[in-house]
Amino acid sequence: MELTKRQIELLKIIVDEYTLTVQPVPSKLICEKYMKDLSPQTIRNELFKLENYGLLEKTHTSSGRIPSSSGYKFYEENILKPLITNDVRNKLLTIFNQRNVSIDMIIDESASLIEEVLKLPTVIHSTNNDTTLKRFDLIPLNEKIVIVILVTSDGEIIKNKIKLEEQKQIEDVIICVRIFNDRLVDTKLSEISSKIQVVKELIRHSVHQYEFCIQEILTKIFSYDTAMKKPYVYGLKSLATQPEFKDVERLHQVLNMLEDSSVWKQIAYTQEQSGRKQIIFINDVGVKDVTIASTSITTKDLTKHISIVGPNRMNYAAVKGLLQFMKDELEKMK
């Protein structure tokens, strides 16, 4: 899809206006405020084309237009110019230039500033790059339940309950734990995925019930969450200041999403696929009209994921400007 210069300008106007007012943008306002040299009919024709492209939508027949999810995506990828004010830049530099302060504390203080500036919550979560698997153990609780324990090099103990239906399954669990100890001890959590296929083949040729082993043992134990620390959310109360989240049920949905580890698992995976070189915007997070903007910063031991959560109409320029500046400055400190 290739837009004309006029269509790009119209899309930008509607995104910017809707961000400020939270109201559908009528063609009359565009004509009177931005494009006085064009007739209302010409503007309506162009808006109709953008609507047909899937970039705009109408909430009501007689209302103006608002950006669609595709419209925000096009805006972010093709129009957006990151913005950070000198005042915010200087405040962040003051935080970054502190001596004898850990990078964790610097990120914490930065997250608090982001919440203050944007009135949106910031989520910090991390994955440990150098943590390794140290041992697997098996503890039978009774004839129907066993616990498989995974111990990591940083002292974390991860327990997984396995339910059994027959004797052959306990034999299979014992075989799997033996294979894990033989093949995966001292492997970095970040490198497990590269060895899983070999482990699967060994299990396939060693156990009675291969599918049981994959679904009930391998999948449960080696989820990405084993390498991920619990996310910390700054500024939860700021969500209630956003018009989109005034509804208690909607707010509850967003709060549940923030506690859903699978969301942050997906964010980390998407960031990994992008090479950790950019700011990503994701709006398919299971809650309507919610967008997460995220970046990641890799230090010697950890990868820190910094995410800003808000409505689809969040101020993309300010969000991207803040995240990009933080990323650039913090990566100088590694």
Around Cβ 189, how many Cβ atoms within 10 Å?
A: 23
Give the residue from 243, 258, 250 showing the smallest Cα distance to 19: 243
Residue at token pair 């980390």: 268
CATH of region 86-128+229-333, choose from 3.40.50.300, 3.30.450.40, 3.20.20.140, 3.30.360.10: 3.30.450.40
Question: Which CATH code is given to the segment(s) 132-222?
Answer: 3.30.390.60
State the average pLDDT over residues 9-34.
Answer: 93
Around Cβ 99, how many Cβ atoms within 10 Å?
A: 4
Which pTM does this prediction carry?
0.70
So what's the pLDDT on residue 7?
95
- Angle (CA) 20-22-23 rounded to 5° is 115
Residues 130-173 have pLDDT tens digits of 778 899 999 999 889 999 998 888 777 888 889 999 989 999 99
- Ranges of H-type helices in 119-166: none
- Report the percentage of the chain scoring pLDDT > 90: 44
- The domains of the chain are located at 5-79, 86-128+229-333, 132-222
